[in-house]
Amino acid sequence: MIDNCITTINSFSNPLQIDRCENTISYEVTQNLDAFTLIKMSNHCFNLYKNRLGNISEPTYEIGSLEYDSIHKTLIGALASYKPKNLSFSISSSNPSLHFIVRLPENISIFVETYINPEEENSTYLQILNDEEPLLQAGGTYTKCLNEMEDKLADIFPDVQKTYVAI
Amino acid sequence: MQAFPQQLISTKDNTKKISETISKNCTILRRTNLDEYLTPYDELDVELIRDIDLFRMSANVLLCKRDELGLDNKIKHVNIVVLEGENCKFNGENVISEAKLNKIKAELKETLILGFKIDVIENIKGPYILGKGTKKEEELNYNIRVTYDPLVLNCFHMESVIICSETGEEISRSKIKGFRKAIASDIKVKLMNKKRVEIYNYEDIA
């Protein structure tokens, strides 16, 4: 059925919908974030929030910074092939943790939280959701969670050609 | 410092009225220590939801029908902190005397206020594993219960607790380790995924 209200035009390769009845213009920006851009976004957030670790203690800052350095590179390296639409990072100071949110196409979201504790081994919690439905909940070491995430994503996106991204 | 607002004092009348008015559509409010709540990439800052606060969270109710009821129930009341004076549970009888009230010192914080719809909070549930890696490993589920809990100096006080669905017992607020971390992370995911929080800027509501 033809909608007499809506006209679609292409503007800089993005479809722009003009709705004359509602008097609105809408468009969806299709972002393609490469590994280099994702690293820049992650580091931008880390620099903004890293003092939260320093305010707890020097060992927490040192361990947290080392963990961040390792986690953000391996996580982005593992996800870059899936064309992430967004990445965000923040730090919790109450029970110190490093917290990543990555949004992938097809309503897939990934939450990774690594708790920093100078007195014991760090532990990670990972969840993959399709919109609101949990597809994977994993806990334990970061490496174990990363492996489980990679296996699950290979199931979710069977057509994605996984390439190793060196960072 | 400022004088303590009299409309927050619990009495038999106002606590009865509030108790009868609270519904699942009402919002519970929690003060934060933050001025910003979004990261540069438009997601919620995890600092907004503190793990320890999830286990027995103190909050104020923002009633849905506050204007109709003639109750002076303001968002900013949650940012009032009692500096001197005891704020114990209200038992229906221990209404504070005017002499004691005059001695109370309070401060109004100027930080962001966080709000959750009661039904959003009470719909959060999920699995957890007790005694992971031991012989007594047990798969259980948690849910959240929000209750009215008036204090002598805060007739709008609410409390949310995390409950083991199988036993009905509260999962206590002791050190956040092991399965408590997993529960806290899961709750944060459920709130942050769809940004199921309401944020009130102090400057906009004062």
Judge whether A147 lies within some domain: yes
Residue A117 sits in which domain range? 35-156
- Co-location of A64 and A142 in the same domain: yes
**Statement to judge: residues A25 and A51 lie in one domain:** no
User: Is the Cβ pair B181, A125 closer than 8 Å?
Assistant: yes
DSSP B97: P
pLDDT digits (tens, 9 = 90+) for B56-76: 999 999 998 887 878 889 999
Domain contains B148: yes
Tokens linked to B47 = 């600092």
Q: What is the pLDDT of residue A13?
A: 47
Count the domains in chain A.
2
Structural domain span for residue B158: 6-198
Helix axes A58-79, A35-49, angle to 10 degrees: 160
Output the CA–CA distances (angstroms, integers) from residue B102 to A35, B6, B105, in the order listed: 61, 10, 8
Residue A161 lies in a domain: no
Tell the burial category of A163 from Cβ atoms under 10 Å away from its Cβ (0-12, 13-18, 19+). exposed
My answer on whether A63 and A48 are in the same domain is: yes
How distant, in Å, are the alpha carbons of A5, A32, B173 from that of A73? 47, 18, 34
Q: Which residues of A49-73 are buried (b: 16+ CB within 10 A; e: fewer)?
A: bbebbeebeeebbebbbebbeebbb
Cβ–Cβ under 8 Å, residues B75 and B113: yes
Q: What is the pLDDT of residue B176?
A: 64
How many domains, in total, are found in chain B? 1
Report chain A residues whose CB lies below 8 A from the CB of B182. 125, 139
pLDDT category at B79 given cuts 50, 70, 90 is very high
Q: d(Cα B20, Cα B68) in Å, to the nearest integer?
A: 13
Chain B residue with minimum CA distance to A38: B41
pLDDT confidence of residue A31: 65
DSSP H or E segment with residue B203:
helix B202-205
Whole-Å CA distances, A165 to A35, A39, A98, A144: 7, 12, 22, 19
Chain A residues whose C-beta is within 8 A of a chain B C-beta are 41, 44-45, 48-49, 52, 86-95, 97, 99, 101, 109, 111, 113, 115, 123, 125, 127, 129, 132, 134, 137, 139
Question: Is A105 found in the same domain as A53?
Answer: yes
- Check whether residue A70 and residue A142 sit in a common domain: yes
Would residue B203 count as lying in a domain? no
Identify the pLDDT of residue B18. Answer: 94
Whether B144 is covered by a domain: the verdict is yes
For residue A18, is it within any domain? yes
pTM of the model: 0.87
Q: pLDDT tens digit string along A69-99?
A: 999 999 999 999 999 999 999 999 988 999 9
pLDDT in tens, B13-62: 999 999 999 999 999 999 998 989 999 999 999 999 988 889 999 999 99
Nearest residue in B to A92, CA atom: B47
Q: Which pLDDT score is estimated for A109?
A: 98
Are residues A54 and A119 located together in one domain of the fold? yes
Does residue B1 lie within any of the structural domains? no
- CA torsion angle A108 A114 A115 A117 (round to 10): 180
CA closest to A130 among chain B residues: B193
B34 touches chain A (CB under 8 A): no
Nearest-angstrom CA–CA distance, B131 and A2: 60
pLDDT (average), residues A21-48: 83
Q: Nearest-CA distance from B165 to chain A in Å?
A: 19
Q: Looking at the complex, report in whole angstroms how far the Cα of residue A2 sits from the nearest Cα belonging to chain B.
A: 33
Q: Are A129 and B189 within 8 A, CB to CB?
A: yes
User: Which has the higher per-residue pLDDT, B28 or A4?
Assistant: B28
| Residues in Cβ contact with B7 at an 8 Å cutoff, skipping those fewer than 6 apart | B71, B72
> Does A123 fall in a domain?
yes
Residues A11, A75 within the same domain = no
What CA–CA distance (Å, rounded) separates A35 from A80? 6
Q: Are residues A49 and A69 in the same domain?
A: yes
Chosen for mutation from B39, B130, B180 (greatest number of chain A CBs closer than 10 Å) is B39
| Residue in B47, B181, B192 nearest the CB of A123 | B181
Q: Examine the domain organization and report whether A56 and A81 are in the same domain.
A: yes
* Inter-chain CB proximity B186 and A127 less than 8 Å: yes
> How high is the ipTM of this complex?
0.89
- Chain A residues near residue B51 by CB distance under 8 angstroms: 92, 94-95
Mapping DSSP to helix (H, G, I), strand (E, B) and coil, where does residue B159 land?
strand
DSSP symbol at B6: G
pLDDT for A9: 67
Contact B181 A127 (CB under 8 A): no
Whether chain A has a CB inside 8 Å of the CB on B39: the answer is yes
Q: Calculate the alpha carbon distances from A16 to A4, A7, A22 in Å.
A: 16, 8, 15
**Same structural domain for residues A16 and A54?**
no
Same domain? For A24 and A39 the reply is no
DSSP β-bridge partners for residue B27: B62, B117
Kindly state whether residue A120 falls inside one of the protein's structural domains: yes
With an 8 Å Cβ cutoff, is B188 touching chain A? yes
In this structure, is residue A162 part of a structural domain?
Answer: no
DSSP letters of B116-142?
A: EEHHHHHT-EEEEEETTTSTT-EEEEE
Position A167 in a domain:
no
Q: Which residues of B fall within a CB distance of 8 Å from A41?
A: 40-41
Residue B22 lies in a domain: yes
Instruction: Judge whether B205 lies within some domain.
Output: no
Residues A86 and A137 in one domain: yes
